[in-house]
Amino acid sequence: MSFADILQMALRNLRQAKLRATLTIIGVVVGVSSIVCMVSFALGLQENLLNQSLSKFDIFTTIPVSGASVSALLEMGQSNAQVADEPADPTQSPATRRDQALAQLRRSAPRRMLDDKAIEEIQKMPGVEFVMPRIGFNAILQYEGKTRQLTLAGASADLQRLPGNRTLLAGTTFSNDFARELLVSEGFARLFRQPQGPEGRPNEGRAGPGAARTAPSEAERRAAAEKLLGRELVLLTLRAQELPAGETGSLDSRYEKHVFRIVGVLSDELNRGLFEQVFSGSNALLVPTGTARLYRKLNSDPLSKLGETLMGDTGYQAAMVRVRSPADTQAVYEAINKMGLRAISLTQQLSQVKTVFLVINCSLALLAGISLFVAAIGISNTLIMSITERTREIGIMKAIGGDDRTIMSIFFCEAGLLGFLGGCLGVIGGWALDTIANLAVNHYIAGAGGKSVNFFYIPWYLWMGSIVFAVGVSLLAAAYPAYRAARVDPIKALRHD
């Protein structure tokens, strides 16, 4: 008997006892709906926390990358006999053995330079949104008559690529990659304040111990930010040409002044880009990447200059890789490490969090599974009733040549149909319940002035899995009735009324 025939027969049998089949299906619908509801709630929680909220913190989507240090590059260059003026020591001294052991250790450290080629390679990896090399340098800056040594960093003109995903409070982004323009943090002025005296006396009156400090409002922050726009900072660099011997010249003639103008003020929200803050330090002062490259070179220390002279290029200190979704992090992290660079990622911790969610999901599914178990008993009961009613029919089928397997198949098919219909309707029911609950909760949230949130998440694998699970449980429930049907004695069955 073909599967189509068996299916047709099973459908015919179910149609004959419509009410009973309907009640049995309702049992499955309740079971599947509760599974879908509970698991979708847990998945929604996971989705909201991990993929929506935490991804804003960049923790799981940002991968700090570092390349080989200048010393490592020099060492590698030496081993490749690129630096020919230092002959290799032919004798095996204890010091050489120690060096070998160190070299062994260093194999785990980055072996590759983080140059434009490496950046380009990372950029091409699937899942990578962008790569921002970190071009940081120290500089002496003057602002409102005060002079400080501060760290500046290069940043893209594309606001989406700003470190930490920060937003502009006022102003615009850089006009071009080589402009002498600055993006500053709203609290950047603090960098130029006088440090507190040894007596603990605050130099600025407003931070007095008794003064209650309330957080400024958004409008106040914007107003303060607006005031910073257009202000100028002066970056000092040493003059490249030494003065002729014997000439001391004035102090001013020994350095050059470069005027930078503040074009944008960035929000100082710390909850964003937390991971980047930790790895790339303060991003209070940003200049265009081209400008950063230039001043980094101008202001680099003699040792770095010597390293670059020997190596040609020493690459970037570090880079930030942003991936599109947390799901891409692990693969990109592994690929970068494989390149010989060193990447840092919290995916291990993420997978632990995911394990916790898996446990929650499983517990909820198990709880909801109880109702599906009850439904399975209902299916068993329905089929056993059906066997009792159809004993004679089973006897007839056997007398005219129906084998045990065919008869079992008919019953399994009936159970499968009950499970499938119940599963499909259950998924629809679960989705409907989710939608109603979501609407109700969001109505309440909207009343309280909150943002609407989607509390439930039904991915394809949940609804598909629920249907497959319902069919599986139904088939399991049919095992005994089907076996019993196949074992019906045809002679007794033919006498059965």
Partner 1 sequence: MPLLRARNVSKIYRMGAGTVPALSGASVDVERGEFVAILGTSGSGKSTLLNLFGGLDRPSSGEIVFDGTCLEGLDHKAMARYRLRSIGMVFQSFNLIPTMSAAENVSLALAFSGVRRAERRDKATHLLDSVGLAARGQHRPSELSGGEQQRVSIARALANDPQVLLADEPTGNLDSTRAHEVLEILKAQQQRGKTIVLITHDQELATRFADRCVRLKDGKLQGAA
CA distances from 71 to 85, 160, 306, 400 (A): 17, 34, 11, 89
Q: How far is CA 313 from the centre of its chain?
A: 33
Nearer to partner 1, 158 or 403 (CB): 403
Q: How far is the CB of 366 from partner 1 (least distance, A)?
A: 39
Q: Indicate the residue among 26 and 494 with the shorter CB distance to partner 1.
A: 494
- What is the closest distance, in whole angstroms, from the C-beta atom of residue 400 to partner 1 in the complex? 5
| Closer CB to partner 1, 225 or 397, in the complex | 397
Longest Cα separation, the chain? 129
Least distance (Å) between residue 441 CB and partner 1: 49
User: Which of residues 234 and 396 has its CB atom nearest to partner 1 in the complex?
Assistant: 396
In three-state secondary structure terms, 191 is: helix
Looking at the Cβ atoms of 444 and 483, the one nearer to partner 1 is: 483
Least distance to partner 1, CB of residue 459, Å: 40
* Tokens found for residue 476: 């399991």
CB of 19 to partner 1, least distance (A): 16
Residue 341 has phi, psi (to 5 degrees) of -95, 170
Nearest to partner 1 of 83, 491 (CB atom): 491
Q: How far is the CB of 1 from partner 1 (least distance, A)?
A: 5
Helical packing angle, 404-447 and 347-389, nearest 10°: 130
CB 59 within 8 A of CB 65: no
- The full 3-state SS of 218-241, as one line of letters, equals HHHHHHHHHHHCCCEEEEEEECCC
Which CB sits closer to partner 1, 20 or 392?
392
Measured N-to-C along each axis, helices 302-311 and 70-79 cross at an angle, to the nearest 10 degrees, of 30
Residue corresponding to tokens 């979501």: 438
Residue 272, C-beta contacts closer than 8 angstroms, at least 6 positions apart: 56, 57, 58, 164, 165, 166
Binding site residues, partner 1, CB under 8 A: 1-2, 4-5, 12, 16, 392-393, 395-406, 490-491, 494
C-alpha torsion angle, residues 460, 462, 468, 474 (rounded to 10): -150
The phi, psi pair for 360, rounded to 5°, reads -60, -45
Task: Look at residues 1, 2, 12 and name the one whose alpha carbon lies nearest to residue 417.
Answer: 12
Q: Which residue has the tokens 């600025």?
A: 204
What's the sign of the alpha-carbon dihedral 81, 87, 89, 95?
Answer: negative
Give whichever of 56 and 484 is closer to partner 1, judged by the CB atom. 484
Q: Which is nearer to partner 1, 397 or 482 (CB)?
A: 397
From the CB of 382, what's the least distance to partner 1, in Å? 17
State the nearest-atom distance from the C-beta of 490 to partner 1, in Å.
Answer: 5
Smallest distance, partner 1 to C-beta of residue 401, A: 3
